[in-house]
Amino acid sequence: QKEVEQDPGPLSVPEGAIVSLNCTYSNSAFQYFMWYRQYSRKGPELLMYTYSSGNKEDGRFTAQVDKSSKYISLFIRDSQPSDSATYLCAMTPSNSGNTPLVFGKGTRLSVIA
């Protein structure tokens, strides 16, 4: 079993829809969670960074962590065609640890106008 699982998609939604992107993980030591957005032919860019459980909101984006289920989500409200990209989750046990981030494989999202 991979440490981090992420449905590759593609996920296609109409403009204005609420999008839910998810990752599951197996290592209960993970405490810091990130979401990256990667546009075509570009590098990933950090979108959200959260610690432990709970929600974090930034504009139309909400990151949610459920440590009991080992499950993280990224919600996008009022999705726009400009949100079309690949979304990668990443996680680590500690922000001062000695091991690199573990990335999911990414979910490709298309928002259709």
Partner 1 sequence: DAGITQSPRYKITETGRQVTLMCHQTWSHSYMFWYRQDLGHGLRLIYYSAAADITDKGEVPDGYVVSRSKTENFPLTLESATRSQTSVYFCASSEGVSQPQHFGDGTRLSIL
Is the separation of the CB atoms in 88 and 36 below 8 Å?
Answer: yes
- Determine if 1 is a binding residue for partner 1 (CB under 8 A): no
CB of 75 to partner 1, least distance (A): 20
Nearer to partner 1, 15 or 52 (CB): 52
Nearer to partner 1, 56 or 105 (CB): 105
Question: For residue 93, is the peptide bond before it cis, meaning its omega torsion is within 30 degrees of 0?
Answer: no
- Determine if 94 is a binding residue for partner 1 (CB under 8 A): yes
Among 64, 79, 85, 106, binds partner 1 (CB under 8 A): 106
CB neighbour list of residue 44: distance below 8 Å, 6 or more residues apart: 36, 37, 38, 88
CB atoms within 10 A of CB 64: 19
Stretch that binds partner 1, among 9-17, 18-26, 50-58, 91-99 (CB under 8 A): 91-99
Find the angle CA(5)-CA(8)-CA(14) to the nearest 5 degrees: 130
What is the separation of C-alpha 109 from the centre of its chain, rounded to a whole number of angstroms? 12
Stretch that binds partner 1, among 16-24, 45-53, 66-74, 75-83 (CB under 8 A): 45-53
| Residues in contact with partner 1 by the rule CB under 8 A | 6, 8, 32, 34, 41-46, 49, 88, 92-101, 103-106
